[in-house]
Amino acid sequence: MTTPDLFTQPEPGSAADHIAALRTELHLHAHRYYVLDEPSIPDAEYDKLFRELQALEAANPELASPDSPTLRVGGKALDQFASVRHAVPMLSIRTETDTEATGAQNFDARVRKELGLAESDPPVEYVAELKFDGLAMNLRYENGVLMQAATRGDGEVGEEVTQNIRTLRQIPLRLPSDVPPVLEVRGEVYMRRDAFESLNDKQRDKIAKGAKNEKTFVNPRNAAAGAVRQLDPGIAAQRPLSFFAYGLGEVTPQEEGGPQFESHYQMLLILKSWGFPVAALTQTAQGAPELISFHGKIARERDQLPYDIDGVVYKVNSLALQKKLGFVTREPRWAVAHKYPAQEQITTVLAIDVQVGRTGKLTPVAKLAPVFVGGVTVTNATLHNEDEARRKDVRIGDTVIVRRAGDVIPEVVSVLVDKRVQDAPQFSMPRTCPVCGSDAVREEGEADYRCTGGLFCGAQRKEAILHYAHRRAVEVEGLGDRLVEQMVDANIIRTLPDLYKLGLTALAGLERMADKSAQNLLQALEKSKSTTLPRFLFGLGIRHVGEATAKELAGHFGKLDTIMDATEAQLLEVSDVGPIVAQSIRTFFDQAHNREVVEQLRACGVHWPEAEPAARAPQPLSGKTFVITGTLPTLSRDEAKDRVEAAGGKVAGSVSKKTDYVVAGTEAGSKLTKAQELDISVIDETGLLLLLKTPAA
């Protein structure tokens, strides 16, 4: 490919002109070196130009620019990542469950059916791409300059990682002049296998020399994700990351600049001409036969690729046909991810341990003789739960087949029974938590055992504290994930009451915790001591007891002691409490550990108003279920929810046949569509306020 004319060099003259010329020249050399693999000058000459630019920028700080190559070496460390709402959601792609060649036929058949094509019609043209095993990224350019980089997050909201992405030399900081005023380019940040091995070699050297807080990385994807999410861009700049572009986000307004794309493949070629790396193995394919051929070719070459993939992706090439096909739920009908069969190996079970998750779930885990599967060394494999472990009949000493399910989670596929050690005992789940000794219970209809010592169990400590401090529970402003993790890891907090025993000295000693921040947290903790019984009950994290149930319990019994001592039969008298919820409440308060934590919280000064339960008057929304969606004119969703529940109604998260009303604001989305399909009453905020004023029947 001919090197694109990405930039126009200014005439030398002033310092500004000299700086601009150096930036242009360095951008061009970096593009040739990192993207085209065609270095145009020796490294020493590049370094000389780079140092000259650094000196000029230092002498002329008013000429700082976000597209300067000097930003690639890092910058000031951040306290945290800012949230970014994507202008165009970063949607997920459906995964084809048939990992054989027929999976491509299935996708082609669905597309042809949706387009109404007969067998005699020409084949659909697709673009076949690799499915990279990395981190999805959105790059936002304004007037050709990289202004923001954000992770995918949940598809709607991601994290801003601009400083770190600027250190990635394959990503252009400035684009040619013919791009649209706003251009979002999407792609994958990944780490090459050779770069990953080199990085781990360096990590092992550091560990061997006694370096603390250093570790080797599990696989290239985790190493890449960890580098992108470094708060210090200087550290990110030292990690060998790469990038492939494969799509667009927001592009506005096209009529003021940039080409009018007609096909996905054309768009990729233009991205390449603008300086973005595009995977060389990307190609067009005519119909299912050529998709199958591509799938087979990549399967044969997969182990020799310089980077990890977990499948291939097929996309309808014509953008007009993509628009016609549209979406189902949140997934495009015009694209699919076609994975390969998971890779398998044989190894030996050395032991079976039981791990306790953050929410109390007990999971049996097979400890394995190390085996290389799917590109990583595997030493643990999940057995999921007792039923699954017994179904597969996995025992200590067994020879087993191990698979990385979906190329991610290692699991035991089967046991080679003919190689079993004689009299190997069958596995049984413990009936007490291996971490705290509380009862482990399995609710009716559930596959998992769970620890019932939620307020006491060390494994659940972080989750219990975060839930207690949630704004809809007791609410401790400023007590977030990072701070809780620091305090628990430092053993400053063991149980919830320890929150109220914190001192300024202990807090100020934590990383990034200044005296002012520590004082603010102590004030927030003092404020949280005054709460309500529903909030406190919800904050205890009793399984199946959400906000609405906590309010019903508080309204029915009036006092916490009465709730703690209530029998299952008495609990069943409460509206919104069924047999499973009643059993969960009873089991929770039957644990001496949990009662002790409650009493210690009271002793620390946590209090709320209590009274005898009042006779309940009829309420206007009793027995009615609402779903709130979109943005309401004056009420937030939380305010609307509180008003509905205060009037006796329930608020659900999804629309079903049991829904009575959907309260729809602007940008209501799929919930409104579902309500219309089910012929459920749809009202706006005004309609809700009228219902709230209607006298109870």
* Cα–Cα distance for residue pair 500/150, rounded to 1 Å: 37
* Cα–Cα distance for residue pair 343/407, rounded to 1 Å: 7
Task: Reduce the DSSP state of residue 685 to 3 states and report it.
Answer: helix
CB 630 within 8 A of CB 668: yes
Which residues face 348 on adjacent strands? 399
**Closest to 236 measured CA to CA, from 82, 83, 71, 84:** 71
Distances in Å between the alpha carbon of 444 and those of 391, 395, 584, 665?
19, 26, 11, 39
Q: Which residues contact 476 (CB under 8 A, 6 or more apart)?
A: 468, 469, 499, 521, 524, 525, 528
**Closest to 332 measured CA to CA, from 345, 309, 315, 348:** 315
CB 395 within 8 A of CB 412: no
Give per-residue burial for 448-467: e unless 16+ CB within 10 Å, then b. bbbbbbbbbbebbbbbbbbb
Choose the catalytic residue: 48, 113, 131, 693. Answer: 131
Q: At what angle do helices 102-115 and 287-301 cross, to 10 degrees?
A: 150
Q: Is 674 one of the catalytic residues?
A: no
**Closest to 245 measured CA to CA, from 225, 275, 220:** 275
Q: Estimate to the nearest angstrom the gap between the alpha carbon of 120 and the chain centroid.
A: 44
Neighbours of 384 (CB within 10 A): 17
Strand 309-316 vs strand 335-339: parallel, antiparallel, or unpaired? antiparallel
Catalytic residues: 131
